[in-house]
Chains A and B, each alone.
Chain A
Amino acid sequence: MNTAEKVRVSIAYAVSLASISLFVSAANVLAWLGMEIPRFLAALAIISLVPLLSDDIRKSSKLIAATAFFTIFALGVSLFLADHARIPGDPMDSFILLLVASLLLTGMKNAVKMLYSGLSFYIVGTFLLLAFSGIKIIILLADALDYYVNCIGEVCDPYGFALIPSIVLFILAIPAVYPYRHRNEFRRGVER
C-alpha cells in the first residue's frame, strides 16, 4: 500500500471513530434524560460507511474492504460500550462529541482527496477528541483521589471505578493521528 492509500484507510478509520463518538453523544443525552440506552443505538455505526460516497475510496477494493471492516468494528465497539460502560449523562459531553463527529465527517470529503482543506478539519477533530477523552480520564482519576481524601478517618468502600467511554475513545483516537504525520503529502487543491 502506498502512503496515500494508508492515509485513506486511516481516514475511513477516523470516520468510524466519528460514528462511535456520535453513539456516545446520543447515549449521553439519553442518560441525562434518565432513559435506558437501547442496544439498537449502536446502529449509528452505519455512519462509518460514509466514506463509500467518495470515488477515491470506491475505486480501490482494499479501501472498500477496510471501510466495511471499520463499520463492523464501530458496531462492535458501540455495543460493547452500551453493555459495559458507565455513560456519564453529561449534555456538554454530548455537545463536544457531536462537534468532534461533525469535524471528522466534514473533513472526510476533502481529506480522501488529499487536500489541506480536508486535513485541517481532520486534525482539529482528532485533537479535540484526544483532548476531550484525555481530560475526562484525568478527571476520573482526580475524582477517585477526592473520594479517598474525603474518606480519611472513615470506613469507606473502595472507589467504584467504572469504564467510561472516554477511555475507549482515547485509545482509539491515538492511531488516528497518522494522516497528520503525512501532512506534507497533501495538496492545496486546484488553483483558482
Chain B
Amino acid sequence: MLVALAGNPNTGKSTVFNALTGLKQHVGNWPGVTVEKKEGWMEYNGKRIKVVDLPGTYSLTSYSVEEKVARNFIIEEKPDVIVHVVDASNLERNLYLLAELLDLHPRIVVALNMFDEARRKYEIDVEKMRNLLGLPVVPMVAIKGEGIEELKREIVHGKFNPRGVEYPEDIEKRIKALEEKIREMGLEPARWLAIKTLENDAEVIKKLSDIGARNILHDAEHLRHEIEDIYGDDIESVFASVRYSFAHGLFHEVAAPINVGGANITDMIDHVVTHRYFGIPIFIAIMYLAFQFVFLVAAPFQDAIDFMFNGKDVAGGHIDGLIDISYAWMSSFMPDWLASLINHGMLRGLGAVLTFMPVIMLLFLILSFLEDSGYLARVAFLMDSVMKKMGLEGRGVIPLMLGFGCNVPAVMATRTLKDENERRLSIALNPFIPCGARIQVFAFLSYIFFPENAALVLWSLLMLSILVVFILGYVYSKTLFRGESQPFVLELPPYRMPTMKGVSVHMWEKSEGFVRKAGTIIVGAAAIIWALAALPWGVEYGGEESYIGMLASLLAPVGYALGITPEAIISLFFGFFAKEVVIDVLYVLYGSKDAILAAMTPLQAYSFMLFMLFYTPCVATLATIYNETKSLKFTLFVVVEGFIVASIFAFAAYHIGTLLGVGA
C-alpha cells in the first residue's frame, strides 16, 4: 500500500509525516531536481505501509517544480490514499488545494492539523464536513501526537465516497465532453486531464500534443473560448474562482467563527521584528547569537573528536590517538604503505568528517528552530529587496551568512530556497564566502606579515569577498542562472513554538545524511590526497619528491605569475582537504615563522591570501555540493569559477602592487 502526503507549506505536514513513520524514513531528491523527497514506512495492525511526503504546494499547476513533482507522483505512482494535511486554523485557503486534489484522486483523507489552534478561531463541525465531502476527516494536533492513530485507521479502513467539486453547469458540460474524448483515447485520469486541458495547462497540453491528440486540443481550445466568453474572464481565473467558491462555501458551511478579540501575538511580534528601524538590528543580533551559539558550543565536541583521532602533543611527548594506535597495530601485519593509506589517509579523512558533525548538528538545530518558529519567513521579508539585486529571494541571505561559519552546512541550507534556479545560484556563490577555517588562516598570516595592520588586511579580505559575491550574483543572475522569473509570493505564517521533536528530527536527518553521503566522498578524497603526498613510497610526506611536490614544481611558473611560492602551492593542495591545515603545512615546509616571513614579501603573502580566499572550496564542501545537486558538471563548475576568480585577483594584486612598488 502506498500513501502520499499532500498539503500547503507551513501546515505541519512534516510533523504528520514524522508522527506516521517515526524515524523509519529515507531522505533523497526527486529525480532530476533538487527538491527533497522523503519516504518512510508506517505500521498499522502489522501492515507495513509506504508513506511519501510530497512537496508543500498551494496548488497543482505546472508553473513550479514542486507542483509538477507532486501531481506527477499522484498520476504516475497512483498512491492508494492521499492524506491532505490541512492547517485547520487557516481552513478556507487550505481547501483550495483540496479542490484541486478532488479532481485528481478519489481517495483522500483530510487531516485537520493544528485543530487546537483552529478551535480558538472557530467551531469546526467535523461530522458535517465528512458528510459534505464524503471523505474521512480527522481532526488532529500532530505535534502532540493527537489524532495520529485515528489518521492511520482512516488511511487503512476509511470509506471514500467523494462528492467532488461542483462546476457550474456550463463548465461541467464542457468538461464532460472533453473527458469523453480523452477517455476514448485511453488516457487517465481522464477528468483531470480534461480540466487541465481546458485550463490551458502547459505540461498537459504538451503531453497531449506529443502523443498527437490534435483533435482534442483543437476541441479544448474551442470549448475554452466558449467558457471565457460566457464568464468574460480568462480561463485560469474562471477555474480558480470555481475552486475558491468551493473552498469558501465549504468553509462557511462547517466553520462558525467565534468572536475573539484578544492579543494577536504574531502581529505584535511582526510589528517589531519587521520595524523600519529595529528590524535589521534585531536580525543582525539574532544571527550573531545563533553563530556564537553554534561555533562556541560545537568547539569542545570538535576538539574531543579531533583528540580522539589525532591524539596530541603534550609537554614531554605525544598522546596517541586512534590513528596512531591503529597504525601501529596494522603495520605489524600488513605492508607499511597499506597501513599508512588506511590510517593516515582514510581514517584521518573519517576524523575530518566527524569533526564537522557538531557544527552541522547545531547549525541545523538553530536553523530549524528559526524556520519552525516562523522567523525565517520574516528574514525573507526583511532582506528581499537587498537579495533581489543578486537574483535571490530574501531567504538567500541565510546560506550566505552561514558560509562565514562553514560552507558545508551553508550549502545544505540552500534548501530553504524554493526556486531551483536560485538554489543553484546560491550554491555557486557560497564558496566565495570565506569560512571560519579560511578566516583563521588569514588572521594568522595577516598577523605575521602585517603586524601593524592585521585587522585592516583581514577586513579588506572579508569586504572583498562580500563584494565579489554581490557582483557575481548580479552577473550570474543576468547570464548563467537567468531563469524564468518566478513570482516571489511568500507566506508569513503565524509564530509557533517549535517542538523539540520536530527540531531534533530535522537535525538528525541533516547530519546523518552528511556523514553517509558526503562522508564517503571525503574519505575517498582523503585517500587520494594521501597517495599524492606519500607516493612514490618512501619520500618525505608532502615533500618535493612526492607527487604533490612534483605537481607543485610543475605549477611553479603559474605560481610565479601570481606571486605564489612552490611551498605555498603545496600548502594549497593540502588546503583543498581542509583549509585550516595550510598554516601547519607552511610551517612544516619552511621550518619556522621567520622562515615563512623571509620566503615571501608582504605583497606575495597578500596575493597568496587572495588566491586562497577564492580558489576551490574544500573537499567537504564539494562533496556536499555534489550531494545537493547530483551534478558532476555543476560541481566542476564551482571549482573552475573559483580558480578563475582567485587567479584574477592574485594576479592583479601582485602585478599592480609590484608596479606601484608596495609591499616589496
Quick check: B268 and A142 within 8 Å, CB to CB?
no
Residues of A close to B319: CB separation below 8 A: 152-153
Quick check: A103 and B289 within 8 Å, CB to CB?
no
Report the Cα distance A184→B264, complex, angstroms: 9
Looking at the assembled complex, report how far the CB atom of A128 sits from the nearest CB atom of chain B, in whole angstroms: 7
Given A119-B268, A120-B268, A154-B314: A149 and B281 interface contact (C-beta under 8 Å): no
List the A residue with the shortest CB-CB distance to B296: A139
Q: Is B272 positioned at the interface, with any CB of A under 8 Å from its CB?
A: yes
Looking at the assembled complex, report how far the CB atom of B268 sits from the nearest CB atom of chain A, in whole angstroms: 4
Quick check: B262 and A123 within 8 Å, CB to CB?
no
Given A146-B303, A183-B263: A138 and B289 interface contact (C-beta under 8 Å): no
Quick check: A119 and B296 within 8 Å, CB to CB?
no
Identify whether the interface residues of A are mostly helix, strand, loop, or mixed: helix
Identify A139's interface contact among B278, B285, B293, CB under 8 A.
B293
Contacting residues of chain A (143-192) with chain B, CB-CB under 8 angstroms = 143, 145-146, 148-150, 152-154, 183-184, 186
Residues of A close to B304: CB separation below 8 A: 149
Residues of B close to A123: CB separation below 8 A: 265, 268-269, 272
Q: Is B33 positioned at the interface, with any CB of A under 8 Å from its CB?
A: no
Quick check: A96 and B271 within 8 Å, CB to CB?
no
Given A99-B282, A120-B271, A128-B282: A135 and B293 interface contact (C-beta under 8 Å): yes
Quick check: A143 and B263 within 8 Å, CB to CB?
no
Identify B297's interface contact among A106, A120, A138, CB under 8 A.
A138
Q: Is B315 positioned at the interface, with any CB of A under 8 Å from its CB?
A: yes
Contacting residues of chain B (281-304) with chain A, CB-CB under 8 angstroms = 281-282, 284-286, 288-289, 292-293, 296-297, 299-300, 303-304
Quick check: A142 and B289 within 8 Å, CB to CB?
no
Report the Cα distance A137→B419, complex, angstroms: 39
Identify A95's interface contact among B278, B285, B292, CB under 8 A.
B285
Residues of B close to A184: CB separation below 8 A: 261-263
Q: Is B273 positioned at the interface, with any CB of A under 8 Å from its CB?
A: yes
Report the Cα distance A117→B265, complex, angstroms: 11
Identify A96's interface contact among B268, B269, B288, B303, CB under 8 A.
B288
Looking at the assembled complex, report how far the CB atom of A169 sits from the nearest CB atom of chain B, in whole angstroms: 14
Looking at the assembled complex, report how far the CB atom of B291 sits from the nearest CB atom of chain A, in whole angstroms: 10
List the B residue with the shortest CB-CB distance to A155: B315
Q: Is B444 positioned at the interface, with any CB of A under 8 Å from its CB?
A: no
Q: Is A70 positioned at the interface, with any CB of B under 8 Å from its CB?
A: no
Quick check: B273 and A149 within 8 Å, CB to CB?
no
Chain B interface size range: 20 to 34
Looking at the assembled complex, report how far the CB atom of A181 sits from the nearest CB atom of chain B, in whole angstroms: 11
Q: Is B307 positioned at the interface, with any CB of A under 8 Å from its CB?
A: yes
Quick check: B300 and A128 within 8 Å, CB to CB?
no
Quick check: A139 and B292 within 8 Å, CB to CB?
yes
Residues of B close to A145: CB separation below 8 A: 300
Quick check: A149 and B263 within 8 Å, CB to CB?
no
Looking at the assembled complex, report how far the CB atom of B266 sits from the nearest CB atom of chain A, in whole angstroms: 10
**What mask results when residues 69 to 93 of chain A are scored 1 for a CB within 8 Å of chain B, else 0?**
0000000000000000000000010
Q: Is B312 positioned at the interface, with any CB of A under 8 Å from its CB?
A: yes
Quick check: B293 and A138 within 8 Å, CB to CB?
yes
Identify A103's interface contact among B272, B299, B300, CB under 8 A.
B272
- Most chain B CB atoms below 10 A, which of A106, A121, A149, A154: A149
Given A142-B296, A183-B263, A186-B263: A152 and B307 interface contact (C-beta under 8 Å): yes
Residues of A close to B278: CB separation below 8 A: 99, 102-103, 106, 121, 124
Quick check: A142 and B300 within 8 Å, CB to CB?
yes
Quick check: B296 and A96 within 8 Å, CB to CB?
no
Q: Is A116 positioned at the interface, with any CB of B under 8 Å from its CB?
A: yes
Given A124-B269, A152-B307, A153-B314: A142 and B263 interface contact (C-beta under 8 Å): no
Residues of B close to A116: CB separation below 8 A: 263-264, 267-268, 271
Identify A99's interface contact among B285, B300, B312, B314, CB under 8 A.
B285
Q: Is A131 positioned at the interface, with any CB of B under 8 Å from its CB?
A: yes
Residues of A close to B289: CB separation below 8 A: 96, 131-132, 135
Looking at the assembled complex, report how far the CB atom of A98 sits from the nearest CB atom of chain B, in whole angstroms: 9
Looking at the assembled complex, report how far the CB atom of A155 sits from the nearest CB atom of chain B, in whole angstroms: 9
Report the Cα distance A117→B278, complex, angstroms: 14
Quick check: A124 and B282 within 8 Å, CB to CB?
yes
Give the total of A residues in contact with B, Cβ under 8 Å. Answer: 33
Residues of A close to B315: CB separation below 8 A: 154
Residues of B close to A152: CB separation below 8 A: 307, 312, 319
Looking at the assembled complex, report how far the CB atom of A192 sits from the nearest CB atom of chain B, in whole angstroms: 16
Residues of A close to B297: CB separation below 8 A: 138-139, 142
Residues of A close to B286: CB separation below 8 A: 128, 131
Residues of B close to A106: CB separation below 8 A: 278
Given A95-B285, A142-B297, A186-B263: A149 and B307 interface contact (C-beta under 8 Å): yes
Report the Cα distance A184→B297, complex, angstroms: 38
Given A116-B268, A132-B289, A184-B263: A146 and B300 interface contact (C-beta under 8 Å): yes
Contacting residues of chain A (99-114) with chain B, CB-CB under 8 angstroms = 99, 102-103, 106
Looking at the assembled complex, report how far the CB atom of B367 sits from the nearest CB atom of chain A, in whole angstroms: 15
Residues of A close to B303: CB separation below 8 A: 146, 149-150
Residues of A close to B299: CB separation below 8 A: 142-143, 146
Given A128-B282, A154-B314: A120 and B296 interface contact (C-beta under 8 Å): no
Quick check: B292 and A135 within 8 Å, CB to CB?
yes
Report the Cα distance A138→B295, complex, angstroms: 12
Quick check: A149 and B300 within 8 Å, CB to CB?
yes
Looking at the assembled complex, report how far the CB atom of A32 sits from the nearest CB atom of chain B, in whole angstroms: 13
Residues of B close to A148: CB separation below 8 A: 300
Looking at the assembled complex, report how far the CB atom of A145 sits from the nearest CB atom of chain B, in whole angstroms: 4
Quick check: A124 and B285 within 8 Å, CB to CB?
no
Looking at the assembled complex, report how far the CB atom of B559 sits from the nearest CB atom of chain A, in whole angstroms: 36
Residues of A close to B263: CB separation below 8 A: 116, 119, 183-184, 186
List the A residue with the shortest CB-CB distance to B297: A142
Quick check: B272 and A121 within 8 Å, CB to CB?
yes
Quick check: A124 and B281 within 8 Å, CB to CB?
no
Residues of B close to A143: CB separation below 8 A: 296, 299
Report the Cα distance A116→B271, complex, angstroms: 10
Residues of A close to B264: CB separation below 8 A: 116
List the B residue with the shortest CB-CB distance to A186: B263
List the B residue with the shortest CB-CB distance to A121: B272
Report the Cα distance A148→B263, complex, angstroms: 48
Report the Cα distance A145→B304, complex, angstroms: 10
List the A residue with the shortest CB-CB distance to B299: A146
Given A117-B271, A124-B273: A183 and B296 interface contact (C-beta under 8 Å): no
Report the Cα distance A139→B295, complex, angstroms: 9
List the A residue with the shortest CB-CB distance to B318: A153
Quick check: B272 and A124 within 8 Å, CB to CB?
yes
Residues of B close to A149: CB separation below 8 A: 300, 303-304, 307
List the B residue with the shortest CB-CB distance to A154: B314
List the A residue with the shortest CB-CB distance to B312: A153
Report the Cα distance A157→B265, complex, angstroms: 49
List the A residue with the shortest CB-CB distance to B263: A183
Looking at the assembled complex, report how far the CB atom of B588 sits from the nearest CB atom of chain A, in whole angstroms: 22
Report the Cα distance A131→B267, complex, angstroms: 20
Report the Cα distance A123→B307, complex, angstroms: 43
List the B residue with the shortest CB-CB distance to A120: B268
Residues of A close to B288: CB separation below 8 A: 92, 96
16 A-B pairs with CB atoms under 8 Å apart are: A96-B285, A96-B289, A106-B278, A116-B263, A116-B264, A116-B271, A117-B271, A120-B268, A120-B271, A132-B289, A142-B296, A142-B299, A146-B299, A149-B300, A149-B304, A152-B319
Enumerate chain B interface residues (CB-CB to A < 8 A): 261-265, 267-269, 271-273, 278, 281-282, 284-286, 288-289, 292-293, 296-297, 299-300, 303-304, 307, 312, 314-315, 319
Could you list 7 further interchain pairs (A-B, Cβ under 8 angstroms) beyond the known A103-B278, A131-B289, A145-B300? Answer: A96-B288, A116-B264, A116-B271, A120-B269, A120-B271, A149-B303, A153-B312
The 3 closest A-B pairs by CB, nearest first: A120-B268, A146-B300, A183-B263
